[in-house]
Amino acid sequence: MTGGGESGYDAAHQELSRIPPARVGKLSPREIFYTLLKMPATLRNPPCAALCGLLLAACLALAGCGASAARAHGAGAATKADGAIGETASGASSKDGSVAATKAVVVGSIDADGDGLPDAAELSSFNDRENFRRWFTGVAEQQFYEPSKEWNESQRDCAGLVRFSWREALRSHDRKWLARMGSAYEAFAPDVRAYTLESSPLGEKLFRTTFGSFRETDLKDDTFSEFADARTLKEFNAVFVSRERNAARAGDLLFFYQPRAPKYPYHVMLFLGAARVDGEGANDWVVYHTGASPNDKGTVKKVRLAVLDHHPDPRWRPVESNRNFLGFYRLKILE
């Protein structure tokens, strides 16, 4: 390809110039690899390949120096902020549960996919993702049969069901946990091995609240929170999958937008797929909380999508022709 060398050099320079100077020495080999991947195909010719090799070597050298300096100054070491039972590390009571022992862990600022979560908070192994899904859906489904006393009554709404189930899915599910939750609970699956809620990279502040890639300063401001409403879950903590149900997996979320309810226009449901209890051989079950009002605490419902398809109010039908149905979304920690 003629002229590829010159245009490739320019593209390489433009791509690498986007990296703030202060970050260059902190780049990991993985981040450098992703940066080079973003460059155009013109870099595949020999002159540009040679340039990329030199750039990669230089960045790796700088990254090594940065890592050595970090170790010399103790940067990146895990720190703990122990909280008493029933409190977070800051001493504030957990919003969704009456027991919440948190040990906040400071993590490196690696967010290779730029989704706003540190890579350490994402479940990278197949087994961890599957086990999280089973706990997440199992806890949520059980709230239909008997809401746990650990689920704070003031937090019982559609998003509150997701938050509570998410937290409990990440806990250590030992005998104490089973005793706290109630006699109806059992071991739905092995525990997630990457981390538990007690050792989470984000502590109990699991939910991102704004756009942007992850930075270490996010751990010190209000970028992550214990609370997330339905809109926050959709915008910052999940990614769109499809509006077609055959693309959904257990643990995905369904979102609706109802502009006639301006105060709380977003609503979320949790997709179970095949139900653990009374599944009737179907694989299109969802569970959700109807939402609370001053005169009605609301309730948890478990229903099939095939039934919701015929909801008396067309705005609540999970079908592609319904403009109020936003589709299926997957938690970022499972991506």
**Is pLDDT above 60 for 130?**
yes
Helix (H) or strand (E) segment spanning residue 121: none
Does the pLDDT at position 268 exceed 70?
yes
Structure token digits, residue 159: 């998003």
pLDDT at 263: 86
Between the alpha carbon of residue 302 and those of residues 142, 161, 176, the distances in Å are: 10, 12, 28
295 confidence band (pLDDT: 50, 70, 90): confident
Q: Report the pLDDT value the prediction gives residue 53, as an integer from 0 to 100.
A: 53
pLDDT higher than threshold 90 for residue 92:
no
What pLDDT, on a 0 to 100 scale, did the predictor assign at position 35? 47
Q: What is the pLDDT at residue 105?
A: 46
How does residue 109 score in pLDDT terms, banded at 50, 70 and 90? low
Residue 17 has pLDDT above 50, yes or no: no
Percentage of the chain lying above the pLDDT 90 cut: 60
What mean pLDDT is predicted for residues 106-124? 85
- pLDDT at residue 214 greater than cutoff 70: yes
pLDDT at 319: 97
pLDDT over 80 (residue 30): no
Structure tokens at 255: 């979102």
What's the pLDDT at 140?
Answer: 98
Distance CA 108, CA 112 (A): 11
Query: For position 151, what pLDDT does the model report?
Result: 96
Q: Which residue has the higher pLDDT, 281 or 21?
A: 281
pLDDT at 278: 87
When mean pLDDT is compared across 71-85, 143-157, 198-212, the lowest value belongs to 71-85
pLDDT, tens digit, 9 for 90 and up, residues 38-80: 444 444 444 445 445 545 544 444 444 333 333 333 333 333 3
Residue 75 confidence (pLDDT): 34
Examine the pLDDT at 258 and tell me if it is beyond 70: yes
Q: Does residue 280 come out as left (phi exceeding 0), alpha (psi in the -120 to 50 range) or beta? A: left
The residues near 25 (Cβ < 8 Å, ≥ 6 apart) are 62, 63, 65, 66, 69
What pLDDT does 292 receive?
A: 83
Query: pLDDT of 274-284, one tens digit each?
Result: 999 988 899 99
Rounded average pLDDT over 253-277: 95
For the segment 231-248, what is each residue's pLDDT rounded down to a tens digit? 999 999 999 999 999 999
DSSP 120: G
Q: Where are the alpha helices (DSSP H) in 182-312?
A: 230-237, 305-308
| Contact yes or no for 198/161 (Cβ under 8 A) | no
pLDDT band for position 323 (cuts 50, 70, 90) = very high
Q: What CA–CA distance (Å, rounded) separates 330 from 254? A: 9
CA neighbor of 10 nearest in space, from 38, 34, 39, 32 = 39
Q: What is the mean pLDDT of residues 151-172?
A: 97
| % of the chain exceeding 70 in pLDDT | 67
Q: Which two structure tokens, joined as six digits, stand for 289? A: 């909380």
- Whether the pLDDT of residue 127 is over 70: the answer is yes
Q: For all residues of the chain together, what is the average pLDDT?
A: 78
